[in-house]
Homo-oligomer: A and B are copies of this chain.
Amino acid sequence: MRIVQKYGGTSVASVERIQATAQIIKAELDSGNEVAVVVSAMSGETNRLLQLVNSMSDNPPMREVDALVATGEQVTAALLAIELNKLGIIAYSFSGAQAGFKTEGNHSKARIKDVQSDHLIKHMERGEVPVVTGFQGVDEQGNTTTLGRGGSDTSAVALAIAVKADSCDIYTDVDGIYTTDPRIEPNARKMDSISYEEMLEFASLGAKVLQTRSVELGMRYNMPIHLRSSFDLVEGTWVTREDSNMERAEISGVAYNRDEAKVTIKGIPDQPGIAAAVFGPVAEADINVDVIVQNVSEDGQTDLTFTVPRNDYDATITLLQRLCEKMKAREVLGDNTVAKVSIIGVGMRSHTGVAKKMFDVLAQENINIQMITTSEIKVTVVLEEKYVELAVRSLHEAFGLNHT
């Protein structure tokens, strides 16, 4: 088997962690597999470098910021290669440019165009280990670029695809994806596997274990991603193509997000273009709108309610009050103590009544649902934040996810 392993910042945070990581790589080689490794910067290092920049300039050229922060992964890659050589393993570090990561030129959020890593395959076939810096590449002019925060996951999956690996193993400080947050529901179970689509839904709800772009890339090229812990070498969760042969449970997991606020603009004269009139300025202010509900029009007026990240609540209220006057709407209301709870699962495609069951469960607990939004494999409700734990536990049990 040929495997690309990726180690995040906590897995290379110190000399001791790098040594432990080298032992995991050695065990993989000893079991007869070919290995290439992608590494992040030591945890804290990227922030340290960015603080240096911020102490100098409010508006630094992004080309230089990229050149600067890219050194973080280069340090880790060289140190890990040194440790592997100490264990008798021939290993070479490669910067993004050296590893063949060709990107577009948009600094700090470059997209990968191509990974030209045939030279790395030669090393792997000889039992040698290429250690590649994640998060970075090089544009057509030879400038160093970075892929943006969390980009190392994307680097790893892209490399796995390029070297035709059998899997991409993402080592991190959690041991997998759980049916829900174990801090809320102790009976939460670690999933053996999850589909790319479900993983994307979990990620969009703030599960920070895997970068969205890396999941999309894995999905497009059908690269199995094994999300697992470098601190506890048990099987983690496989992110793979949906297995159509398998009998699916109704839902795979329950997710939630407290980082929500709700705003309403009431009594807007209902005429074509009001959504654009509201959401245009909101988008310009770089505020991410999530759940949106527009009431049925009544007396030529309508209400528009949507959620935004809690951090943007104040800015959104200010902005809407200005719009309210301009559009001659009635008033602006808001609530920054709401939360989202979602049930997710490809199984709901073939099980009818999943949404109804969810509403019933919440009604039984006397939890009022403020907003609802659905996708093919997800139902999300917005509710008062104080009900989050109760809602999560009730749904987790009602849909048969509890550990037995």
Contacts and interface: CB of A to CB of B under 8 A. Distances in A.
B82 A60 contact: yes
A55 B83 CA distance: 10
A60 B74 contact: no
Contacts of A83: 56-57
A156 interface: no
Interface in A57-106: 57, 59-61, 63-65, 67-68, 70-71, 74-75, 77-79, 81-83, 85-86, 92-93, 95, 97-98
A327 interface: no
A25 interface: no
A53 interface: yes
B64 A81 contact: yes
A155 to B, nearest CB: 17
Given A15-B52, A56-B15, A78 B68 contact: yes
A142 interface: yes
A49 B15 CA distance: 12
A82 B55 contact: no
Given A61-B81, A77-B67, A81-B61, A56 B19 contact: yes
A18 interface: yes
A93 B64 contact: yes
Contacts of A68: 74-75, 78-79, 82
Interface of A: 15, 18-19, 49, 52-53, 55-57, 59-61, 63-65, 67-68, 70-71, 74-75, 77-79, 81-83, 85-86, 92-93, 95, 97-98, 142-144
5 contacts: A53-B79, A61-B82, A64-B92, A67-B95, A71-B75
